[in-house]
Amino acid sequence: MACPAAALLLPLLLGFLAPARATDPYAFFDWDVSYVTRSPLGVPQKVIAINKEFPGPVVNVTTNYNVAVNVLNSLDEPLLITWDGIQQRKNCWQDGVLGTNCPIPPGWNWTYNFQVKDQIGSFFYFPPLSMQRAAGGFGGITVNNRAVISVPFDTPDGDIRLFIGDWYKKNHTDLRKMLDDGKELGMPDGVLMNGKGPYRYNDSLVPAGIEYETIDVEPGKTYRFRVHNVGISTSLNLRIQGHNMAMVETEGSYTMKQNFTNLDIHVGQSYSFLVTMDQNASSDYYIVASARFVNESLWTRVTGVAILHYSNSKGKASGPLPDPPNDEYDKTFSMNQARSIRMNVTTGAARPNPQGSFHYGQINVTQVYKLRNMPPVTINGKKRTTLNGISYSPPATPLRLADLYDKKEVYTLDFPTMPSDGPPVIGSSVINSTYKNFMEIVFQNNDTKVQTYHIDGYAFWVVGNGLR
């Protein structure tokens, strides 16, 4: 789960692979990851597709399913796939990041095996290496409830996946070189919605001939929208012209049902909304995702626009785009939105017992870490980001292999519990913790930009946030 900087309680679930239950079903997938040529913003470029699909196919499974994904790397560089939000209980070496896996060499294949144990909800996968996410390679993960578990809302009439994210016309290799040369990426060239560019709502801002996303709906029906910000750096505000969005779930937890006319969705976040088609069905409506915390007069082009099309619509979407929050650099509105989201503690999720049956006040916290991120600094001639003064460098041997074979020289267990005022350094420093203990982490954002954090394989609970 990704979230803005906050204080968290984190259960430490480290350990060894647990055998899957023989009674739990299996789902098998074969993927060929390759380049295809697409022009989402009107310029041909290399895009990473899965089985020629961009975005990639949805992994649609049910709680406790065992999942096997055979990945063939048809790119010209190493590849990993990580499963954002899947907890990988006692199975961390299937997580698909450099800390736990060796990359898949070009022309090779690798099969990921994991179980979606005691999970439900909306997630996504993506390639975490070498800026490849900026070229695509992402897709959705849906973990459905078992039939014996009730859901805290009526069954929707349909399920709609919506990927939103910033996008550059440059290939990911060019973007990577810019960062390696110490340059900023600058303003994105646009926002894609389901891998497509914006509807031509403005002739001067959107060139002719761009393919845009159309979502077909029936009047009077209610649909579940699963929305993911799969971009690389831009927080986006989502709104659907004339329609309310009733939030019901975020990344594996049911929320108290709450209506929004717009919502800030930060990089890496996933939300589920129920949207009822209760407007005049004679015309189409805009779906908009625009950049947040920027000078909107300069960032006008960084706007994704799709079309919500009623089946009996006779007219195009019209009028101006629905307005975003009018606060530009003031993050108060966004923070208050985030604070308003509450877990539904009376309903079950993957299990029949209520989500609120765990007594957080009885947690015995055994470790506390304060993690401070800073603006990028120059180390050895390159711009790098740091946490507590350390810029992580992945070792040649994945950490789990080094741990298994007792290769102590590969990494150090001395990650500082508090920020350091010394000069920034590069290192492979690891937090040393104990299985089944609870840790409190305080994220302190000393950068000028919104930061989002994802903790692979873990569930956590926000216990506080605000200005320092």
**Residues 234, 289: contact at Cβ < 8 Å?**
no
**DSSP type of residue 350:** S
Taking the domains of the chain in order of start, what are their residue ranges? 17-144, 158-340, 359-464
Q: Is 416 helix (H, G, I), strand (E, B) or coil?
A: coil
Question: Please, where are the H alpha helices in 324-451?
Answer: 332-340, 399-404
Which mean pLDDT values do the consecutive 10-residue runs of the chain (468 residues) have? 47 41 87 98 98 98 98 98 92 87 96 96 96 98 95 97 98 94 92 98 94 98 99 97 98 95 96 98 97 90 98 94 85 89 90 77 88 91 90 90 90 93 92 88 90 77 71
Domains 17-144 and 158-340 share a fold: yes
User: DSSP label at 448?
Assistant: S
3-class state of residue 287 by DSSP: strand
User: Hey, how many other C-beta atoms are within 10 angstroms of the C-beta on 116?
Assistant: 30
Q: Compute the distance between CA of residue 308 and CA of residue 387 in angstroms, rounded to an integer.
A: 42
CB 5 within 8 A of CB 449: no
Candidates 93, 139, 141; CA nearest to 120 is: 141
304, 240 Cβ separation under 8 angstroms: no
C-alpha 57: how far from its chain's center?
Answer: 16
Q: How far apart are CA 233 and CA 239, in angstroms?
A: 19
Q: What is the pLDDT of residue 380?
A: 86
Q: Copy the structure tokens of residue 308.
A: 């919500």
Top CATH class, 17-144? mainly beta
Q: What is the pLDDT at residue 91?
A: 87
Q: With respect to CATH, is domain 158-340 assigned 3.40.50.2000?
A: no
Please give the pLDDT value at position 172.
97
For 99, the token pair is 């800390």
- For residue 426, the cross-strand partners are 391
Please give the single-letter amino acid code of residue 307. I
pLDDT score of 357: 67
β-bridge mates for residue 7, sequence order: 442, 464
pTM of the model: 0.92
